[in-house]
Structure 1
Amino acid sequence: MKDIAQALRGWTPEDPASEATIEYLTLEPELFEVVSSHQAGDQRFLVAFDWNTIGGPPGMNRALAVHVAFDPGTHRCRVHARGAPTFGWAGRWLVGRGADPRAVADYRPVPDDPYNLGPGDRAEGLISGQDYGFTRPGSRATRLIEDRVRRCGDRYRFLDSANAYPSFFNGEREATFVLLQDRHPRAVGRRFLIQLETVNVQRATYTITEGGFRTLAQARDWIDGIDAYAGTTPLLSATDPVTGLAPLGLPAPVRDRVAPVQGAATVARRTR
């Protein structure tokens, strides 16, 4: 974030929100690990990891989306930021503000020695699962899901997100879930979607799995079934990694059948 802090020097914030955001980002810019960044004309779009979230309350938004718009004519700038539970959802907010989905997905490579420990002490993987800024997608399916999230428009209604379990309980994995209402026409019967993003500490990667539920109560029951201390989650129903819907060929969830109301003409025919 240091390059943005330098780029903002001498520019006047256009509104109080921009002024507050600039102060937050430039006070200690090294606390933001930039994951992706691209420029389009006089605008900059960034996805970053917020180191301020380490040690904070569970469920804090550790990903951060930043949108900077410069106005050379007035030498003013608008700087807005939005926290998100994952990099994919941070990218979704930026795409909604005009970012190129492909550019947002162009993640910077993780440094060979991200902790600056030196050649002899270089860490393999992550020292802690909380070091989310040093992770990258670990599978093609995960990249496809993230791409759908970034391009989803108003398809999903965001309901909840939280840390499922931290890595310090079992040392190998850390997980975050996102609960959504899916407005896709094909999602009838499974409107409530859970995305589970799991960080593999040893590989410094994350993978996303999804599962749909017929009711919000069923989705909440799945969340309640997470064993945070063991670092385990119940199985999620299989989904197509492109659409986020049940794979083709699988039967749709059974819907309640409501008996049709008999009209007066029908009743009259039966009584003749």
Structure 2
Amino acid sequence: MKDTDFRLDGLEPADEQSTHAYDRTWANDYQMISQHDMGERSFIVAFDPSATWDVPDTPNLVSFDVVRDSGRGTFSLHRSGHATFAFAQRWLIDRGCPADALAPIADAPRPADELTVRVEDRIRHSGERLTVVGYQVIDGGDVEGWSMAVDRQDEELPVRLFFESLQPDQYTYTLREGAFAHWDAADAWLENRSVPLPEAPEYRLDAQALRTSAALSRTTASLPRAGAVPGTPAAPVDFPQSLGKSL
């Protein structure tokens, strides 16, 4: 990873909030993971290795929204810490960054499977639906971390646990979403892990749709061709000689 360049040389904070954010940000401490520039505005996700020396579970993934005004010689800086990369992306997407513009450009672990991609996509496009209320960062030699959120659109299973697991040997990671009716159940699962993570209903519906689609495909494949008389063998198909040679 390379150091993050906020391109603030010669500029001053535009307001008190930006001053406070800038005072907390030492650019050389951050290693860039992804960045998208729109003129004088930059959307950045960076890794903060110094977080490991801070208070336990200090977020080590930080999203930055930087707006420069070269005419006035000022800049605005907003930042937000996260434990899960997809939530770091979502924060910037909600502030106007294109959703497809924040893929990692650094050498970072890749999703291990399609379900991980689907879970991340749900997070990125969740808007205000998911509110993060707790997390455990992956730090040092850790291989597991999580973000806990409230799903505002689900009254029966509002507590959502996004559980991330690294596979260092493969340089991959998995991300799963569990759904719980209340906080105690989610805390109990984190404490004991004696049963699989309860699958969120969104993915059960997707799995059922995939099974239904597969069943329909098999049924369609077994139907007689149009024009064939039921109970009689279908007429042979004469392939062109050129096609027959290529088969």
TM range (shorter): 0.7 to 0.9
Q: What's the secondary structure of 1:178's corresponding residue?
A: strand
Find the residue that maps to 1:102 and give its secondary structure: coil
Structure 2: runs of 5+ lacking an equivalent: 210-247
Residue in 2 aligned with 1:74? 72
The whole-number CA distance in structure 2 between the counterparts of 1:246 and 1:182 is 17
Using the alignment, how far apart are the partners of 1:21 and 1:65 within structure 2? 12
The answer on whether the counterparts of 2:4 and 2:32 sit within 8 Å (CA) in structure 1 is no
Which has more radius of gyration? 2
Who is 2:190 aligned against? 223
Aligned-partner Cα distance in 1 for 2:20–2:87: 23
CA contact 1:101–1:147 (8 Å) conserved in 2: no
- Alignment-mate amino acid for residue 225 of structure 1: N
CA contact (8 A) 1:162 1:176 kept: yes
Instruction: Give the drift of 1:75.
Output: 2.1
| The one of 233, 238, 241 aligned to 2:199 | 238
Note if contact 1:239-1:247 (Cα within 8 Å) is conserved in structure 2: no
TM-score normalised by L of structure 1: 0.68
3-state SS of paired residue (1:103): coil
Report the count of equivalent residues.
208
Q: Which runs of 5+ in 1 are unaligned?
A: 111-133, 227-232, 251-272
Aligned sequence identity (%): 24
Q: Does 1:175 align with 2:144?
A: yes
Residue of structure 1 in register with 2:217 after alignment: none
SS of aligned partner of 1:181: strand
CA distance in 2: counterparts of 1:55 and 1:201, whole angstroms: 22
Q: Does 2:44 match 1:46? A: yes
Residue number in structure 2 paired with 1:201: 168
Cα deviations by residue, 1:172-223 (Å, 9 ceiling, x for unpaired) = x611111111122xx3422211110112222232210111112222112112
Question: SS at 1:91's partner residue?
Answer: helix
Whole-Å separation in 2 of the counterparts to 1:83 and 1:191: 23
Greater CA deviation, 92-101 or 141-150? 141-150
Aligned to 1:15: 15
CA 137–147 in structure 1, closer or farther in 2 if over 3 Å, else same: same
Provide the C-alpha distance between the structure 2 equivalents of 1:249 and 1:14, rounded to a whole number of angstroms.
52
Cα RMSD after superposing both structures:
2.6
Question: In structure 2, do the counterparts of structure 1 residues 158 and 87 end up closer, same or farther at CA, with 3 Å as the change threshold?
Answer: same
